[in-house]
Chains A and B, each alone.
Chain A
Amino acid sequence: MRPFDPRLARHARGARRYLAVCTGIGVLGALCAIAQARLLAEALSTLTVPLALLAVFAVRALLAWAQEAAAHRASAGVKADLRRAVLASALSGSAPGPAGTVAALVTRGVDALDPYFSRYLPQVVLAAIVPVMVLAVLAVTDPATAAIVAVTLPLIPVFGYLVGSCTEARTARQWRTLERLAGHFADVAGGLMTLKAFGRARFQSERIAKVSAEHRRATMASLRIAFCSALVLELAATLSVAVVAVSVGLRLLEGNLSFGTALFLLILAPEAYLPLRQAGAHFHAAQEGLAAAESVFAAIAPVPAAAPGPVPDGIVGVRGLVAREGLAPVTFDAPPGVITALTAPSGGGKSSLFAVLLGLLPPVEGSVRAGGAEVVPGDAWRRRVAWLPQHPHLFTGTVAENIAVAVPGASAAAVRDAAGLTGVLEFTTLETVLGAGGHGLSAGQRQRLALARVALRCALLDPVLLLLDEPTAHLDVATELDVADLIDRLAAGRTTLVATHRRALVERAGNVLAWPSAPVAPREPVPA
């Protein structure tokens, strides 16, 4: 494993500066450690109390503060940069991944970088600086000790690498098991009401205990290996120091070494190994941090260059379009000024088709055309489309803000008109603040609010294409008729595609398209 991912420096401006700060603090810290060892050895051998020792301790305290503060600052900055990059990538619409995954990554995922920045990275920098400086001092003071340290020091990373690579496959296998087991509790807790309805809730507590126990056993198996690297580093370091101590002690006995020098060597030698030991102890934190960084980088898709070009005009249609793997290719032209009802059965890919028409989803095959030219979906094309999703999302904020989302910068009067037209004002006011996900509104009320968005777009942007996905799925009969009338009015003069199962809507459509949901079996090639 690389201790530092160069992409961190590329995406996060703070990371590089932080490395420089760590280096500076590391050099000063090493100097302090050397001075402290020297002063302590002197004090103990001559039985004096040097005041300089106090100054060294004060500087060390200052450095500890600087290191910690810099770590937290850098961590905050880097996390902010990564969040921005992920969000910019997600909001570019190039490849919107599952919302929950990206949200978890942006909110909690990047936090795994905290221990990486505050604990592991400084130790890695120290591990590169301190041993060299200590070794130099040892070489000047006592070449024999320096030789022992120089020979044993490289053994530590070598051992660490060997242990790591021997256990890598096993660790990876166990991580997969862990991932599978880890989601179980959240899954069961999320389905609690379903379990309760079927009288299975109580039985699950045994199952949770069982799966958690399995999870524990798998975790322990992987930890037994993971902690090995720290153990090996610790033992190698300790044995090396013991070798130094014995050699120093024997030479002291023979009178070849002064007491002060011996003490100095004894206090200083462990300092050479300390950063490597610490880096080994925080290896775990590093793995998690870098894994988090890895998933962040995977979520940062390059924002595609906009293809401005002219937006084609005319009859909208699709040619051999496969919106999602496993669907049959679809070809149709939607005549303008008429409502076209799509009545494919559930799972037939109607929502996916809309996503492709909007350019939110790249098609597996085929193309979207307008007036005979291929449409390159982008912001310019989307400006001419109004879409009612199957499950409209209501944002936290006022009703007016929720409607205005449809046309950024829409005037208050236009929003009020749209709300009036769709009957939103019959059950709420524009100033009412909605909870997360439109909490407090019924399904029908939400649908009217979402329709107000479409109405606002129709009023201000005059879109050529309306895409309405199950506009009346949750409505009672009376409301459904109202909504159908409204759709009639909005659709006048535009190309309108309505995905629906409801008869009231199908009956009003001038054009009904249906296709089978089952994938068309590949035909046998006809022999010539």
Chain B
Amino acid sequence: MAVRTGRAAGAGAGVRGRTAAGAVLGAAALACGIGLMATSGYLISRAAERPPVLYLMVAIVSVRAFGMGRGVLRYAERLVSHDAALRLLERTRVRVYDRLVDLAPGGLGAARTLGLVVTSADGVAERWVRGRIPFASAALAGAAAVALEWWVLPPAGGVLLAGLLAGGVVAPLLTWAATGRAAERAAEARDRMTALTVDTLHGLPELVACGAAPARLAELADRDAALDDAARRAAGSLGLGSALTALSCGATVAGALALAVPAARSGELAPVLVAVAVLTPLAAFEAVTSLAAAARQFLESRESDRLLGAVLAAPPPVAEGGAEPGEGIGISVRGLRARWPGADRDALAGFDLEVPPGRKVAVFGESGAGKSTLAAVLTRFVEYEGSVTLGGVELRDMAGDDIRRIIGLCAQDAHVFATTVAENIRLARPGASDAEVAAVMLRAGLDLDPSRRPPVSGGERQRIALARALLAGFPVLILDEPDAHLDPATADRVLADLLRAAGDRTVLLITHRPGVPGADPVLREMDEVLTVTAPT
């Protein structure tokens, strides 16, 4: 734990330093643009006075330096900002993942939420590169331009400051206020469109097979038209920001001109500096353009930030205790009541079970009776009421990871990772040799090349899950419908083998095998058959 926290803090410092460097480099690049314009104006104005060429050398060198500097600094800034953003992404992913580990699966809601969390985390880099860093560099460069303008002609400095604020801060805020409703409508239309699209595509074969696709396409076209309409409505107000920025740029330049001309005529301002006073604001508005884009990015990303914040702050769905696990592996369940987060009724209520060490219990039950919930309670994936003890210690008093070292689950919906089949199995016991992996594959009836990668079929996935359970060697093993996708011969052989190999381990087989205990080769291995009924 300490190691990981240290890593995260280190990455944080790295991100902060690089963010600052990116902002400063960006500001310097923008300042070079302003300097280029100002010195060019000065150079021409001075040249018009036809001094000896030597007097112009400083200005000429500056023009070149600013010109080169702008390109090189911009290049450096882009690299440093992207590096900072990616480092931040790295850190965010680890933080979000650590949090997801605590929340999964009960506190996570539907898979859709998980997907949103993943994309929001991925969006962090984007928000940094297009939001925070440009905002900081534009503010710095803007301040430098104001200082320069102030030094040349103080009232013009004030005008520039007002203009920059109007174009870079007020304009995006106004745009945001103007687009708020339209954007909200567009977002809603978009969500509805997305939901229907995903639903349609997942059920596509059925729709095609039933000839229902054309009707569905018409429905999709309707929603799409609504989305298109909403997006077009928002377009008009989105353009407002650019217009306001351009307008404030014009007003500022005109204001500077209106102040500089009388000042020059009255001798208050050296004529050679008039061009500087007018061209500086013109160049400074390059910073404002990026300021406006940054502000928009900032406003748009608030939703994702809120989602990530909610995930990071969510309470864990299952309490973690600190008690040491007991000596034995006997399980005792008394008056168990369990409910999945967000569900409106109990999945299990008033359930009792006694599993002494080494006992093999088959758990029957109708579909929906709460068999899988029992497995989730025993592996601490869902909170419970009543009493469940392992080796005499109450589950909620122990740490979930400690319990799961003893009670293993071969789940119905085991995930197959995007790596080789061998690695997928090895995660059950890292460090297992190739021979050991091959042995459990054979026993699970998994006739696949160990170096193969997903996709695998439903039956293969199930056998990968079985092979994992075999390799891990948990003292208590819960098998949740391990045979749903296997043909009977394979299922019988694999399960009978598994149960014999289990030796003195405890096994809880959740199944709706249709056999009769005496005749069924698998059920023959069981000591007890138990039926779960759904709470009424």
Q: Write the residues of chain A forming the contact surface with B, with a CB cutoff of 8 angstroms.
A: 40, 43-44, 47-49, 53-54, 56-58, 60-73, 75-77, 79-80, 83-84, 87-88, 90-93, 96, 99-100, 102-103, 106-107, 183-206, 208-209, 212-213, 215-216, 219-220, 223-224, 227-228, 230-231, 234-235, 238-239, 241-242, 245-246, 248-250, 252-253, 255, 259, 262-263, 266-267, 343-347, 355, 358, 360, 379, 382-383, 385, 387, 389-390, 392-396, 405-408, 436-437, 439, 441-445, 453, 457, 473-480, 501-504
**Does B205 sit at the interface, judged by CB under 8 A?**
yes
Known contacts A192-B104, A345-B489, A476-B366; is A197 also within 8 Å of B408 by CB? Answer: yes
Chain A residues in 8 Å Cβ range of B150: none
Interface pair B198/A103, CB less than 8 Å apart: yes
Seed contacts A40-B253, A44-B278, A200-B430; 15 additional CB < 8 Å A-B pairs: A69-B238, A91-B216, A198-B408, A198-B468, A234-B74, A248-B44, A347-B460, A379-B211, A382-B208, A393-B203, A436-B195, A436-B198, A477-B512, A480-B512, A502-B488
- Complex-state Cα separation, A230 to B182, whole angstroms: 35
Binds A, one of B94-102, B326-334, B353-361, B495-503: B94-102
Interface string of B46-86 (1 = CB under 8 A from A): 01101001001000100110011011101100110011001
Q: Is the CB of B94 within 8 A of A61?
A: no
Q: Which one, B68, B110, B208, B224, contacts A360 given CB within 8 A?
A: B208
A443 CB to nearest chain B CB (Å): 5
Q: Does B20 make an interface contact (CB < 8 A)?
A: no
B75 in contact with A47 (CB, 8 Å): no
Residues of chain B from 203 to 221 with CB closer than 8 A to chain A in the complex: 203-217, 220-221
A224 to B122 Cα, complex, angstroms: 21
Q: Are A224 and B490 in contact (CB under 8 A)?
A: no
The answer to whether A102 touches B274 (Cβ under 8 A) is no
Determine how close the nearest CB of chain B comes to the CB of A95; give it in whole angstroms. 11
Q: Which of A87, A190, A473 is close to B197, meaning CB atoms less than 8 Å apart? A: A87
Interface of A is mostly: helix
CB distance from B25 to the nearest CB of A (A): 13
A111's nearest neighbour on chain B, judged by CB, is B190
Minimum CB–CB distance from B532 to chain A (whole Å) comes to 10
**A228 to chain B: which residues have CB within 8 Å?**
75
Alpha-carbon separation in the docked complex, A253 to B56 (Å): 10
In chain B, positions 87-132 with a C-beta closer than 8 Å to chain A are 87, 89-90, 93-94, 97-98, 100-101, 104-105, 108, 110-112, 114-115, 117-118, 121-122
* Bound CA span A96–B201, Å: 9
B276 to chain A, nearest CB (A): 10
Question: A57 touching B253 by the CB < 8 A rule?
Answer: yes
**Cβ of B366 and Cβ of A478 under 8 Å apart?**
yes
- Least distance between B75 CB and chain A CB atoms (Å): 4
A-B interface, 5 closest residue pairs, ranked by CB to CB distance from nearest: A57-B250, A444-B367, A346-B459, A442-B368, A191-B415
Segment from B254-262, B301-309, B435-443 that makes contact with A: B254-262
Q: Is B411 an interface residue (CB 8 A)?
A: yes
Cross-chain contact A48 with B514 (CB below 8 angstroms):
no
Determine whether the beta carbon of B251 is less than 8 Å from that of A57: yes
**Are B264 and A47 in contact, with the CB atoms below 8 A?**
yes
How far is it, in angstroms, between the C-alpha of A94 and the C-alpha of B353 when the chains are bound?
53
Chosen A-B contacts, 23 in total, with CB atoms closer than 8 Å, are: A53-B250, A76-B227, A84-B221, A91-B200, A103-B197, A189-B117, A192-B101, A192-B108, A199-B401, A202-B101, A213-B90, A216-B89, A220-B83, A230-B78, A245-B40, A245-B44, A249-B60, A347-B460, A360-B205, A436-B112, A443-B368, A477-B514, A479-B366
Assess the A249–B210 pair: CB atoms within 8 A.
Answer: no
Contact A84/B428 with A47-B264, A249-B60 known, Cβ cut-off 8 Å: no
Expressed in whole angstroms, the minimum distance between the Cβ of A262 and any Cβ of chain B is 5
A498–B468 CA distance with the chains assembled, in angstroms: 31
Give the one of B82, B208, B405 with max A CB within 10 A.
B208
B323 within 8 A of A: no
Given A196-B381, A389-B205, check contact A346 B514 (CB 8 Å). Answer: no
Point out the residue from A53, A73, A91, A480 that lies within 8 Å of B213, measured CB to CB.
A91
Kindly identify which residue among B201, B457, B468 contacts A90, using a CB–CB cutoff of 8 Å: B201
Closest chain A residue to B265 by CB distance? A47
Q: Which residue of B lies closest to A206 (CB)?
A: B4
Rounded to whole angstroms, the CA-CA distance of A206 and B44 in the bound complex is: 59
Please tell me which one of the listed residues A64, A65, A262 contacts residue B48 in the complex, with CB atoms under 8 A apart: A262
Q: Which residue of A lies closest to B408 (CB)?
A: A197
Bound Cα distance A248, B486 (Å)? 84
Selected contact of A405 from candidates B50, B196, B210, CB within 8 Å: B210
Select B121's contact among A185, A202, A227, A392, beta carbons within 8 Å: A185
Residues of A within 8 Å of B246, CB to CB, are 57, 60-61, 63-64
* Residues in chain A near residue B459, CB distance under 8 A: 346-347
Interface: B242 (CB within 8 A): yes
Q: CB < 8 Å: which of A183, A201, A224 contacts B101? A: A201
Residue in contact with A189 in the complex, picked from B78, B118, B200, B427, CB distance below 8 Å: B118
Q: Mark B264-279, 1 if CB is under 8 A from A, else 0.
A: 1100000100110011
Given contacts A44-B278, A68-B241, contact A54 B97 (CB under 8 A): no
Query: B418 within 8 Å of A by Cβ?
Result: yes
B228→A80 contact, CB < 8 A: yes
Residue B181 interfacial (CB < 8 Å): no
B43 CB-CB contact with A under 8 Å: yes
Task: Report the nearest A residue to B87, measured CB to CB.
Answer: A216
A76-B231, A245-B40 known; A66-B258 Cβ under 8 A: no
Contact B209 A382 (CB under 8 A): yes
> Which chain B residues lie closer than 8 Å to A235 at the CB level?
68, 71-72
A230–B75 CA distance with the chains assembled, in angstroms:
8
Whether the Cβ atoms of A80 and B94 lie closer than 8 Å is no
**Do the beta carbons of B278 and A40 come within 8 Å of each other?**
yes
Q: Inside 8 A of B512's CB, which chain A residues have their CB?
A: 474-477, 480
Contact indicator B227/A80 (Cβ below 8 Å): yes
- Interface presence of B162 (CB below 8 A): no
Central interface residue in B82, B89, B97, B416, by most chain A CB within 10 Å: B97
Question: B239 to A54, Cβ gap below 8 A?
Answer: no
What chain A residues lie within 8 Å of B185 (beta carbons)?
none
Interchain CB contact under 8 A, A212 and B274: no
Interchain CA distance A212-B413 in the complex, whole Å = 27
Across the interface, do A49 and B208 meet the contact criterion of CB distance under 8 Å?
no
Contact of B409 among A65, A90, A197, A212 (CB under 8 A): A197
Contact with A263, one of B78, B193, B228, B275 (Cβ below 8 angstroms): B275
From the candidates B101, B122, B204, B251, name the one contacting A205 in the complex (CB within 8 A). B101
Docked complex Cα distance between A252 and B208 (Å): 77
**Given A72-B234, A205-B98, A346-B457: A227 and B78 within 8 A (CB)?**
yes
| B217 & A382 in contact (Cβ 8 Å cutoff) | no
Please state if A76 and B228 are interface contacts (CB–CB under 8 Å).
yes
Which of B40, B265, B472, B491 gathers most chain A CB within 10 Å?
B40
Do residues A216 and B203 form an inter-chain contact, with CB atoms below 8 A? no
Judged by a CB distance under 8 angstroms, whether B16 is at the interface is no
Bound-complex Cα distance A441 to B343 (A): 12
In angstroms, how far is the closest chain A Cβ from the Cβ of B61? Answer: 11
- Chain B residue with Cβ nearest A197: B409
Given the complex of chains A and B, what is the CA–CA distance between A363 and B206 in angstroms?
19
What chain A residues lie within 8 Å of B82 (beta carbons)? 219-220, 223
CA distance A383 to B355 in the complex (A): 53
Report the separation of the CA atoms of residues A56 and B63 in the bound assembly, to the nearest whole angstrom. 28
Known A47-B265, A54-B254: A406·B210 in contact at CB below 8 Å: yes
Chain B residue nearest in CB terms to A391:
B458
Q: How far is the CB of B524 from chain A (nearest CB, A)?
A: 16
Chain A residue numbers with a CB within 8 Å of B83 are 216, 220
A408 with B44, Cβ < 8 A, contacts A76-B235, A189-B97, A193-B104 known:
no
Q: How far is the CA of A135 from the CA of B486 in the complex (A)?
A: 75
For chain B residues 432-471, which have a beta carbon within 8 Å of chain A? 457-460, 465, 468
Residues of B within 8 A of A262 (CB): 44, 47-48
Q: Enumerate chain B residues within 8 angstroms of A213, measured Cβ to Cβ.
A: 90
Partner among B79, B110, B214 whose Cβ is within 8 Å of the Cβ of A227: B79
Quick one: which of A68, A198, A501 contacts B486, CB cutoff 8 A?
A501
